[in-house]
Amino acid sequence: MKNEKVKGKLPRELWLMYAGLVCLAILLETAFLYANYTIVESNEKSSAKASAEKIAASIQSEMQHALETTNLLKDLYKVYGNLFLEDFNKICNELSKDNLAIGSLYFAPGGVIKYSYPAEIDKATEGFAMLKDPIQGPKAQKAIDDRKATVAGPHHLIEGGEGFIIRNPIFNRDAFVAFSIIILDKERLINQIALNLRSTKYDFAVWKDPDPTAITDADGFAFSKRQGTGKISRDIQLDFPVLNDTWHVVLEPVGGWNVLGHMKKEVCISLFVFALLLFLFYMYVLGVGRKRQLQMEIMANDAKNQFLFSMSHDIRTPMNAIIGFTRLMKQNIEDRQKVEDYISKINDSSNFLLSLINNVLEMARIESGKLVLDEGIIDTHKFEHVTDTVFTDLAKSKGITFSNDYELLSDFVLGDETKIRDITLNIVSNAIKYTPAGGYVKLTLKESRSEKPGYTIFTAVAEDSGIGISKSFLPHIFEEFSREKNTTDSKVSGTGLGMPIVKKLIDLMNGTIDIESEVGKGTKVTVVLPLRLLSEKQLEEVKLAKLKGKNDESNVDPSSTGFAGKRILLAEDNELNAEIAIAVLEEMGLKVIRVADGFKCVQVMEEYDEDYFSLVLMDIQMPNMDGYEATRNIRAMMNPKKAHIPILAMTANAFDEDRKRALEAGMDGHLAKPIDVQELLQKLRQMLG
């Protein structure tokens, strides 16, 4: 029996189980990565926010130092007056040592610059009246009006470059007297911020509330520090106060937010866990599959044991009848009536025994994968004739009414006629077998158009009023070696292989079978088969061939075989089979010369004249040389008549592939043992004319 699980492979249902577990593993992996992504992203942005706070603190610190410096200049002026200004450059030199971002310092009595540090910028800035400047004037006036220090910029500086201007107004008894001014060089400020940040992994940018006089880049930033050329996103933004303004800082890692790049460790761990899960799941599914295989093997062995038990009984029953009636024939050899009755019963028992053997061999061939379709042209009108011929008398002998109804659209179709006939015989004979006297069996065959081009659909329905099938057994009806009741219980002989064979044949033809049944009320079997339609050319050829066949049949004399005087060379190694064949052939008026193997068959063909034999009946399995090799030797003879003599295989190799091998070897036909006399007669008439 064929195992459901092929060694080294998982069956479909276990693959589906494994696929489900893989999906679970993928879901867990995705959840793990998503959770880690969220955590890493949060950590990255928290770190970036902390860096943004450092940038803001650094800017505020630089501004505060600058403001304190202006306040110190302011206080010195109030204490020392113009004496302080005599040492302005010296004092500024000392004050600027602690603030590396300071670019220059100014003192502007009345808003006009008169003192500058460093000294080299005096000529560029001396005498600059900022209150009258269209850009600096409004900002300077605002500092006076607000009576507090202000920051402006970045602006283009008179002395060159760009910077932020911090103006601290000085008052004497509520009267404005001067500005203490510090310029923070933009580039120095940026470098100082980067130095304080102590990290090179971030790009940052700073901007302030809208100021039409300030210098900004294309993105509206007052200043930025970038290692790349791309724009800085505003995912992390921090607002902070700077003197009289509100400033803003944004930053992102160099190269963008590469969260996955920071997850290398987590990704490696998760992939390892994922692979481990896949392996564990696979091992689990293999374990389930192995357990199921062991269970199936146990069930298969139980089924085989039950099958052998049933087969032992079913084979011994007809064998007992054959042996018993043979003994009775010897005892009553003079009583013709009894002998004929015994012969009839021996014949019935032999046919049943042959049916048992054929079913077992057919199932073995199916399980070995050797079963193939032998597609040919089928005359659909023969269906009704065949079923009437086969089943009407059988049903009548049991007291059963048999009827069939056909609604066909096509005269011819393409299909495996032998296998379709086997399906029909199995289903209808079962219906008759399990229907008691007084019941009925009805066979309906309808043809309908298929949606698939070039195909037609045949639907066969077999209904009976028999004993039915229990609901508990119905799901197991297609299982091999299974029978709902044994022959002792049901009084009906069988192997339990008929329906499994039917199911496998239907599957091979891409068809379907459905069974409805109820105990005590009968069974309904529906078979749907897609069959190919003939092309127009094929249809025309088959109609011409059919017409020619009818004309040929009109010349046949049914009262005589017409074989008188013709000689046959019989190659058969088995003495009993040879004796039966010779007796049958001689009854037909043929003369027979028998040889026991293929080598002698070829030798006799070479020795006798070309017209001596009319036909060769060739067994296949013989000693010295088998039938295939013997045929090939005959076909290779130099004498054309001998090389083309009709050769008919008559062998126990009864399967479709055996028939094909015979034809491929050069034989003209194939007959299966045990010999069907009518079929033999038909073949001889075709070959001998």
* String of DSSP letters for 455-479: EEEEEEEEEE-SS---TTTGGGTTS
| Residue whose C-alpha is closest to residue 204's, from 195, 194, 212, 196 | 194
State the chain's maximal CA–CA distance in angstroms.
167
Compute the average pLDDT of residues 160-164.
85
Higher per-residue confidence, 425 vs 53: 53
Count Cβ atoms within 10 A of the Cβ of residue 459 and give its class: 0-12 exposed, 13-18 middle, 19 or more buried: middle
**pLDDT at residue 144 greater than cutoff 50:** yes
Rg (CA), the chain: 54
Asked whether 494 and 429 are in contact (CB, 8 A), the reply is no
Q: Report H helices in 332-436.
A: 336-367, 381-397, 417-433
| Residue whose C-alpha is closest to residue 670's, from 655, 546, 678, 685 | 655
| Residue whose C-alpha is closest to residue 457's, from 498, 415, 501 | 415
Residue recorded with tokens 């045990």: 674
DSSP for 155-185, written as a single string: EE-TTSSEEEEEEEEEEETTEEEEEEEEEEE
Residue recorded with tokens 């106060």: 241
The 3-state DSSP class for residue 187 equals helix
Distance in angstroms (rounded) separating the CA atoms of residues 490 and 469: 12
Q: At what angle do helices 264-331 and 336-367 cross, to 10 degrees?
A: 170
Compute the average pLDDT of residues 361-373.
66
Amino acid at the residue 1 = M
Tell me what pLDDT residue 609 has. Answer: 93
Compute the average pLDDT of residues 606-618.
94
Tell me what pLDDT residue 559 has. Answer: 41
DSSP letter, residue 40: H
Phi, psi (5° rounding) for residue 551? -65, -40
Higher per-residue confidence, 673 vs 316: 673
| Residue whose C-alpha is closest to residue 388's, from 419, 428, 420, 345 | 428
Tell me what pLDDT residue 633 has. Answer: 96
Higher per-residue confidence, 309 vs 139: 139
Maximum mean pLDDT: which of 73-77, 439-443, 650-654: 439-443
The domains found in the chain, sorted by start residue, are 263-362 (1.10.287.130), 372-553 (3.30.565.10), 567-688 (3.40.50.2300)
For the chain, the average pLDDT equals 81
| Residue whose C-alpha is closest to residue 285's, from 25, 4, 20 | 20
Distance in angstroms (rounded) separating the CA atoms of residues 637 and 642: 7
Compute the average pLDDT of residues 100-127.
82
Tell me what pLDDT residue 371 has. Answer: 67
Per-residue pLDDT tens digits for 485-533: 543 345 555 556 778 888 888 988 899 999 999 998 999 999 999 999 9
Higher per-residue confidence, 618 vs 245: 618
User: Can you count the helices (H) and strands (E) in the chain?
Assistant: 19, 21
Which tokens sit at 516?
Answer: 């409805």
Distance in angstroms (rounded) separating the CA atoms of residues 549 and 217: 101
The fraction of the chain above a pLDDT of 70, given in percent, is: 84
The 3-state DSSP class for residue 444 equals strand
The 3-state DSSP class for residue 532 equals strand
Compute the average pLDDT of residues 388-399.
75
Distance in angstroms (rounded) separating the CA atoms of residues 238 and 393: 101
- Residues paired with residue 461 on neighbouring β-strands, in sequence order: 444, 526
Residues 6+ apart with CB under 8 A from 101: 62, 66, 184, 185, 188, 189, 192
Distance in angstroms (rounded) separating the CA atoms of residues 483 and 489: 11
**pLDDT at residue 615 greater than cutoff 70:** yes
Tell me what pLDDT residue 568 has. Answer: 95
Maximum mean pLDDT: which of 202-211, 360-369, 438-447, 674-683: 438-447
**pLDDT at residue 200 greater than cutoff 80:** no
Compute the average pLDDT of residues 145-149.
88
The fraction of the chain above a pLDDT of 90, given in percent, is: 20
**pLDDT at residue 5 greater than cutoff 80:** no
How would residue 311 be classed by pLDDT, with cut points 50, 70 and 90? low
How would residue 195 be classed by pLDDT, with cut points 50, 70 and 90? confident
Compute the average pLDDT of residues 338-342.
83
Among the residue ranges 223-232, 307-316, 559-568, 678-687, the one predicted with the least confidence is: 307-316
Per-residue pLDDT tens digits for 236-293: 888 888 887 888 998 888 777 777 777 777 778 878 888 887 888 778 878 877 887 7
How would residue 229 be classed by pLDDT, with cut points 50, 70 and 90? low
Distance in angstroms (rounded) separating the CA atoms of residues 235 and 219: 15
**pLDDT at residue 641 greater than cutoff 90:** yes
**pLDDT at residue 367 greater than cutoff 70:** no
